[in-house]
Structure 1
Amino acid sequence: MDLENRLGKKVMIFDGAMGTVLQQRGLKAGSVPEKLNIDKKEVIIDIHKSYLKAGSEILTTNTFGANKLKLSEIDYSVEEIISAAVENAKKAVDQSSSKALVALGIGPLGELLEPMGSLSFDEAYSLFQHQVLQGVKSGADIIHIETIADLYEAKAAVLAAKENSDLPVFCTLTFEEDGRTFTGANINSMISVLEGLGVDALGLNCSLGPEKLEALTEEVLRYSNTPVILQANAGLPVVEEGKTVFKLSPEQYFKPIARLYEQGLAVIGGCCGTNEDFIALMADSLKDKPVKETKSESRTIACTPSSWKDLERINVVGERINPTGKNEFKKALRNNDLDYIIRVAVEQVEAGADILDVNLGLPEINEKEMMVKLIKELQAILDIPLQIDSSNASVIAEGLRYYNGTAVVNSINGEAEVLEKILPLIKKYGAAVIALTMDENGIPETAEGRFKIAQRIVKKAEEYGIKREKIIIDCLTLTASAQQKGVKETLKALQMVKEKLNLKTTLGVSNVSFGLPARAVLNRNFLTLALYQGLNLAIMDPNDKEMMANIKAFKVLANIDKGAGEYIEFMADIDAEQEKAGSALESMDLAEVIVKGIKKEAAKLTKELLKEKDALEIVNKDLIPALDIVGERYEKGEIFLPQLVQSAETVKEAFAVLKTEMLKNGGKDISKGKIVLATVKGDVHDIGKNIVKTVLENYGYKIIDLGRNVAEEEVKKAVKANNIKLLGLSALMTTTVKNMEKTIQIVKEENPDCKIMVGGAVLTPDYAEMINADYYAKDAREAVEIAKKIFA
């Protein structure tokens, strides 16, 4: 099959579920589906053939969990499993005389990446690389990365696929009803990152039925320039007579699919609960139909997984992470003092920066190593896009690789050597890039000269496959003290770029005033003039409240701030903001540091508090109230899982100091009680349990973590031996819910007073009640509330 001439042109039909179909065919709870590629290959081939008969054009191999982490406890290697799985799918294609393609199915690794978890980006990449290389060797036609909740993990998987194969790459993430993944990623960030990395198709799968995913899929179709996939579940499962049942019929499933087809849906299949009947109905109705042409409202954004900034709008780029002319900053870099730099970053965000420029160009340091380290530190505590600023191509490359989201790169210019080094990196990682209107001959004196360089850069970028929308032109701010005529030329060039090239623009605003008194006055006036010529990204000091006020005022006068609400709010708060500016981090107390997740400040502030309070008072009056604030913000959707975990980890730093103090003084343990946590037998997913563990520990509970794939008897022994009042059980697979029920039954037989809370992706309140659990915890925050009740 010629995928290149079909994808995005004719509707393509994927297959449906594998795991739930295997359950219907007798797969036992807790069994490893991937083993059946070898042990029961005829069953797998038969399922593939049923999908081909129904009309599937792409088969997904039975390799969802075929990675070293998940298969560490079985007899077969990853190589053996993947080789057999691809061979089974190929046999089904041959036996059916079909032209269908075989997609290597790659699911999540089962552990969270740093900073939420302990798995490094490089480790994740290596695990995915292992799968990809074996898939290529075995003859797969497509790499299909699916059911990913962490955008950083998706990036690692896509890079592993792109860098180790020439196969087409599909990638689908799994979203909740609120439009966020489990880790907080949003639709716009997903599109930006995956399109930037060059996937061949993207979209949504699993989690919900097609009707509940319809609005989210519409949003993907609205903004994606890449063919869109939807593989929904057959609705949410329910429990009937102790079995997991998906109630949605093929006809009910198809109705929203048909509506989405009219909006441009290109690839259609099914996930949990679907089977060949679902695929047959979709294939009979839509297979080979032309994909509806719709004009996407594509936009260029800089983003983290959970927040984004439209670069077409006016954005303030904080300029202060830069050693130029800053002795304290240089000293911090030399001493590897990231705390100082983080303080500078926090102050800028508090002052209203939309994006942070990160420039670490100091000859005597390892700039590449420092850039990666700082990016990771900043992204752990600040949910704001970054602008990677360096003249060193290797620094830019490393920064882009480890950045979680879509970054801006500052910068390229018209020099051929610079363009040849940097443009391939911009293309590979999908970044936006600032282009300076200068070349080997320096900065042209006239606006026309700078405009010509801008034209040349755009043409060269397009030759590399970089879209014009990704290019931001810097017409270069000259100093009024030395090149007074040049200031006007800068503004003229900016206007020409906006009107004739329709590109986004940026300027380093404060450069205009070097060497002159009352610099702030010149900066403010120049900023206003530039805004009226079409400036998008103002690189400036956001702590200058009058400069910020100019931007707020401009948005009102240009009819951007409708109703002047943003302006009114800013002016009402300006006095209080000015008091906070300049020393935001130094003035924070322990509770504020916890809320913001600034780990390195927690221990120091705890030690200071111990001079005036005892340990228990700090726990009850500082740590717990701060975590409650974080929990409330999480429940309201103001922050997301990475920030929740980061705050919990910050409390851990404070607790370490308090425990040391208590033991030193002969005091008793300050923990509030012991809780056993376990992922049930047959389930190797540890993500949810580990998050609950982190948060509960930092509310003061002692956690006995039994790990994953824990047998019922082991759980029972741990509960009895430790006289446990609260047990937490986790399951992420429908096949292991039965084992959870058995565990609850066995524990309660000998420990009737032990309360049991359950959670996991497949659990619902109804499930919890049916299997005789005492509590259902939908997330870590809910687990804390349950613990409070038990240990009140």
Structure 2
Amino acid sequence: MLLVTCLQVQADLYEKIDKELLEYVEDVLLNRREDSTERLLDYAGTLDPKSKPTAPRKLNGEPSTPAFTPKLNPIPAGVDPLAPDTDLPPVPAYQPWRDPLAKSEAFGQLEAMMQERIIFIDGAMGTMIQRYKLQEEDFRGERYKSHEHELKGNNDLLVLTRPDVIEEIHTAYLTGGADIIETNTFNGTTISQADYQLDQVEEVALINRTAAQLAKKATAAYMAANPGSRKFVAGAIGPTNKTLSVSPSVENPALRGVTYDEIEQAYYEQARALYEGGVDMYLVETIFDTGNAKAAIYALERFFEEQGVRIPVFISGTIVDNSGRTLSGQTNEAFWNSVSHAKPLAIGLNCALGASDMKQYIANLSACADCYVFCYPNAGLPNAMGGYDQRGPDMAEDIRPFCEEGLVNAIGGCCGTTPEHIAAIREMASAYPPRQLHDVPQLLRLSGLEPLNYQPNPDNMRETFLMIGERCNVAGSIIYKKAIVDGDYDKAVSIALSQVNAGAHVLDINMDDGLIDGVPAMTRFVNLLVSDPEASRVPFMVDSSKFFIIEAGLKCCQVCT
């Protein structure tokens, strides 16, 4: 019999199948005749088995197979075997997901403010610290006087050794008009603090807890001096100095300098300490690798579930240049698809770009996101010395189009910005209404490095069906299975690439075989795919009958699978 491949079912090739052959095949598929199978077998016997469905060649002389006599149809006349049962249970009424956790008071307060007006986030902490020209002794204080590693540059430590400086900076931003100030904890994880040999859990927890208390002290003092005002403290959760999606070695693209579990645990410990210090919300910021962000999201969800309460989360990605992608390769809409399951109160972008370069990406995010949107760009682009020359009024003018087009609910500043920048931005933006929330179509939204928003056409499903590449499944390809068993992962990756190049929308990955250790095989292969920008353009379908193998694959994916 002749086989019709997946590609030949596409609309542009399906119509090229020989009409006589197509009639026999459709008789079987659509059950149009009682003897359709026998007729197809008889017809197939008259064809050259090496001919193609689009140009079948008939054999000379007698058929190459014996004739098949029709069998009696055991199904009584008038009975449709494909008809559904008459006593089926009712179809479930699906409802939008509802969060079982109680929400903190800050949720309602923030939402009310963002619906009423554009709100303002503070500016750069590092830029302000540089103004104080602090020395090694300032970073050491009495607590770290004998510490054996150099500490200058570890700004997070200043909440312990120079709290007066950090509190003064917080107060300056509040006076400049910030509604939200961030804790000085951008590097407040055991992973980042390992660079200074300060990765002890207790030490890092103290930094985060103290930073939150210091910021709360500043907001309390401001609100006491300005009755009726409401200021919030955001626990700043930075990206760490490690990445889950990029290898530290060009010779070994499957290598990772850290594991998902290590990053998730570090974020969990930071979130707990910040909460103990009294933060009103979390800001997961400067995301250059969505894999790290997903670990942070999971850590926050784990913490919320343990506490029995949810506090607001803002998530901010970083588009590194005018390619419109994060450092790990995702477009900003693919980034949104990857983190939208967390239902953040707001999604945004920060760092790397000035306001004028960031605008097109905020416009795209504003269109595809159904939550609040914010941004805090740099003060332009850095000069030759790494500094920032754009002044507050000039930056405010660059941000004005964001407000005129209704793209944002919150604005702040990143590298190079100061309280003067925030004051100028607030003065300009206060005249404009905030962005209005809007619904988005309920579609299947997946992502590789690029978004996959699946919208079927009910009138022509053949044009809009999804093709899943199943040749990276050890049960579906003996060539792929042999490559994995032999440790030939370059061959395995080439199989994945060939499917993407042939038009696969999603890659299925399965390692379920008695000769294969599923977890290390899945981890190595997915790490290799993530490192290949062509293979990881599309989403992955991590496939196994064993959930721990699925988990191993998901921990390697920055994509939405």
If the TM-score is normalised by the length of the shorter chain, which range does it land in? Answer: 0.5 to 0.7
Aligned-partner Cα distance in 1 for 2:474–2:338: 30
Instruction: Give the conservation status (yes or no) of the 8 Å contact 2:314–2:345.
Output: yes
Q: CA deviation at 1:323?
A: 4.4
1:366-385 superposed matches below 5 A? 367=518, 370-381=521-532, 382-383=535-536, 384-385=538-539
Aligned-partner Cα distance in 2 for 1:14–1:288: 17
Q: SS at 2:284's partner residue?
A: strand
The correspondence for 1:196, drawn from 323, 341, 362, is: 341
Counterpart in the other structure of 2:132: 25
Matched, 1:136 2:287: no
Q: CA deviation at 1:379?
A: 2.7
1:153-302 superposed matches below 5 A? 153-165=292-304, 166-175=310-319, 176-238=321-383, 245-261=387-403, 262-286=405-429, 291-293=434-436, 295=438, 300-302=444-446
Counterpart in the other structure of 2:499: 348
The correspondence for 1:52, drawn from 171, 174, 191, is: 174
Aligned-partner Cα distance in 1 for 2:359–2:480: 49
Q: CA deviation at 1:350?
A: 4.0
Matched, 1:148 2:302: no
C-alpha distance 310-331 of structure 1, shift in aligned 2 (>3 A): same
Instruction: Give the conservation status (yes or no) of the 8 Å contact 1:124–1:153.
Output: yes
Instruction: Give the conservation status (yes or no) of the 8 Å contact 1:12–1:288.
Output: no
Q: CA deviation at 1:351?
A: 3.1
C-alpha distance 360-110 of structure 1, shift in aligned 2 (>3 A): closer
Residue range with higher mean Cα deviation, 141-150 or 358-367: 358-367
C-alpha distance 254-363 of structure 1, shift in aligned 2 (>3 A): same
Counterpart in the other structure of 1:127: 266
Aligned-partner Cα distance in 1 for 2:514–2:168: 63
Q: CA deviation at 1:191?
A: 0.9
Matched, 1:83 2:209: yes
Q: CA deviation at 1:357?
A: 1.9
Aligned-partner Cα distance in 2 for 1:212–1:328: 47
Where do 5+ consecutive residues of structure 2 fail to align?
1-104, 137-151, 224-228, 249-256, 305-309, 456-463
Instruction: Give the conservation status (yes or no) of the 8 Å contact 1:33–1:62.
Output: yes
Aligned-partner Cα distance in 2 for 1:114–1:264: 30
Q: CA deviation at 1:119?
A: 2.0
C-alpha distance 354-52 of structure 1, shift in aligned 2 (>3 A): same
Q: SS at 1:208's partner residue?
A: strand
Q: SS at 1:71's partner residue?
A: helix
Q: CA deviation at 1:114?
A: 5.0
Q: CA deviation at 1:333?
A: 6.6
**Residues 595-631 of structure 1, C-alpha deviation per residue, up to 9 Å, x if partnerless?**
xxxxxxxxxxxxxxxxxxxxxxxxxxxxxxxxxxxxx
Q: CA deviation at 1:95?
A: 1.3
Aligned-partner Cα distance in 2 for 1:207–1:247: 15
Matched, 1:14 2:121: yes
Instruction: Give the conservation status (yes or no) of the 8 Å contact 2:245–2:558.
Output: no
Where do 5+ consecutive residues of structure 1 fail to align?
408-792
Q: CA deviation at 1:228?
A: 1.2
Instruction: Give the conservation status (yes or no) of the 8 Å contact 1:317–1:353.
Output: yes
Counterpart in the other structure of 1:658: none
Counterpart in the other structure of 2:92: none
Matched, 1:68 2:190: yes
Q: CA RMSD in A?
A: 3.1
Instruction: Give the conservation status (yes or no) of the 8 Å contact 1:20–1:273.
Output: yes
Aligned-partner Cα distance in 2 for 1:28–1:210: 33
Instruction: Give the conservation status (yes or no) of the 8 Å contact 1:14–1:56.
Output: yes
Q: CA deviation at 1:233?
A: 1.1
For the pair shown, the structure with the greater C-alpha radius of gyration is 2
Aligned-partner Cα distance in 2 for 1:245–1:399: 41
Amino acid at match of 2:540: L
1:160-559 superposed matches below 5 A? 160-165=299-304, 166-175=310-319, 176-238=321-383, 245-261=387-403, 262-286=405-429, 291-293=434-436, 295=438, 300-304=444-448, 306-312=449-455, 315-324=466-475, 341-362=492-513, 367=518, 370-381=521-532, 382-383=535-536, 384-390=538-544, 393=547, 395-407=549-561
Aligned-partner Cα distance in 1 for 2:475–2:341: 31
Aligned-partner Cα distance in 2 for 1:331–1:179: 39
Instruction: Give the conservation status (yes or no) of the 8 Å contact 2:372–2:437.
Output: no
Q: CA deviation at 1:372?
A: 4.2
C-alpha distance 326-405 of structure 1, shift in aligned 2 (>3 A): closer
Instruction: Give the conservation status (yes or no) of the 8 Å contact 1:13–1:287.
Output: no
Instruction: Give the conservation status (yes or no) of the 8 Å contact 2:363–2:407.
Output: no
What percentage of residue pairs aligned between the two structures are identical?
28
**Residues 252-300 of structure 1, C-alpha deviation per residue, up to 9 Å, x if partnerless?**
2122433212323012111122122222233345459753326466664
Amino acid at match of 1:42: D
**Residues 336-358 of structure 1, C-alpha deviation per residue, up to 9 Å, x if partnerless?**
77566445324323433232122
Aligned-partner Cα distance in 2 for 1:247–1:4: 38
Counterpart in the other structure of 1:497: none
Q: CA deviation at 1:48?
A: 0.9
**Residues 653-712 of structure 1, C-alpha deviation per residue, up to 9 Å, x if partnerless?**
xxxxxxxxxxxxxxxxxxxxxxxxxxxxxxxxxxxxxxxxxxxxxxxxxxxxxxxxxxxx
Q: CA deviation at 1:202?
A: 1.6
C-alpha distance 184-27 of structure 1, shift in aligned 2 (>3 A): farther
Amino acid at match of 1:89: A
Instruction: Give the conservation status (yes or no) of the 8 Å contact 1:359–1:390.
Output: yes
**Residues 423-461 of structure 1, C-alpha deviation per residue, up to 9 Å, x if partnerless?**
xxxxxxxxxxxxxxxxxxxxxxxxxxxxxxxxxxxxxxx
Amino acid at match of 1:81: I
Amino acid at match of 2:210: A
Instruction: Give the conservation status (yes or no) of the 8 Å contact 2:106–2:280.
Output: no
Counterpart in the other structure of 2:78: none
C-alpha distance 392-119 of structure 1, shift in aligned 2 (>3 A): closer
| TM-score, normalised relative to structure 2 | 0.64
Amino acid at match of 1:68: T
Counterpart in the other structure of 1:755: none
Counterpart in the other structure of 2:64: none
| TM-score, normalised relative to structure 1 | 0.47
C-alpha distance 250-325 of structure 1, shift in aligned 2 (>3 A): closer
